[in-house]
Amino acid sequence: MPRTASIRRETAETAIDLDLDLDGTGRVQASTGVGFFDHMLTHLGKHGLFDLTVACKGDLHIDAHHTVEDVGICFGKALVQALGTKAGIRRYGDCTLPMDEALATAAVDLSGRPFLVWKADVPLETLGTFSSQLAEEFWRAVSSAGLLTLHVVLHHGKNTHHVVETIFKACARALRAAVEADPRATGVPSTKGVL
What single DSSP character describes residue 111? -
- Residues 136 and 153: their CA atoms lie apart, in Å, by 11
Domains of the chain in start order, with CATH, are: 4-179 (3.30.230.40)
**Amino acid of residue 30:** A
Q: Considering only 48-57, 71-80, 168-177, 180-189, which range has the smallest mean pLDDT? A: 180-189
pLDDT of residue 118: 98
pLDDT of residue 22: 98
Candidates 6, 9, 2; CA nearest to 141 is: 9
Q: 3-class DSSP state for residue 50?
A: coil
Q: 3-class DSSP state for residue 19?
A: strand
Average pLDDT, whole number, for the chain?
A: 97
> Which pLDDT tens digit goes with each residue over 33-43?
999 999 999 99
φ/ψ of 123, rounded to 5, equals -55, 135
pLDDT at 193 over 90: no
pLDDT at 66 over 90: yes
> Which pLDDT tens digit goes with each residue over 103-145?
999 999 999 999 999 999 999 999 999 999 999 999 999 999 9
Long-range contacts of 191-195 (CB under 8 A, 24+ apart): 194/85, 194/112, 195/85, 195/86, 195/91, 195/110, 195/111, 195/112
pLDDT of residue 186: 86
pTM above 0.85, yes or no: yes
> Which pLDDT tens digit goes with each residue over 11-36?
999 999 999 999 999 999 999 999 99
Q: Given pLDDT bands bounded at 50, 70 and 90, which one contains residue 57? A: very high
What single DSSP character describes residue 11? -
DSSP lists the bridge partners of residue 6 as: 19
DSSP lists the bridge partners of residue 94 as: 107
pLDDT at 91 over 90: yes
